[in-house]
Amino acid sequence: MNLLLIRLIIFAVLLVAGIKLYRMYREWKLDREELLESDDEAAGDDQMVRCTWCKVHVPESEALRDRGEWFCSSAHRDRYLQEQGGDEQ
């Protein structure tokens, strides 16, 4: 009878420990997936484009496009278009 009680206690302890380990693993896995998703969102799928005026690469979402050319700022766009307009005359 005494041996049966000891086996039952050991089984209960192992069962509780197994459940606790499974919960810890599941929480770790969910945290890891969230971290990977947030890294993917932060990195984004933005292409880099080159400013026609200064040749600096900027993300496409931040760049300006005019007449098929990419620019890093409106000042560079205006200077490039002004220069192009002067060459054509």
Question: Per residue in 27-79, pLDDT tens?
Answer: 999 999 888 887 666 666 678 999 999 999 999 889 999 888 999 999 999 99
Q: How far apart are CA 47 and CA 31, in angstroms?
A: 29
User: Which tokens in the block code for residue 78?
Assistant: 């205006």
Lowest mean pLDDT among 7-16, 20-29, 36-45: 36-45
Number of helices and strands (H, E) in the chain? 2, 4
Q: Is the pTM above the cut of 0.75? A: no
CA distance 11 to 51: 69
Residues 52 and 68: beta-carbon distance below 8 Å: no
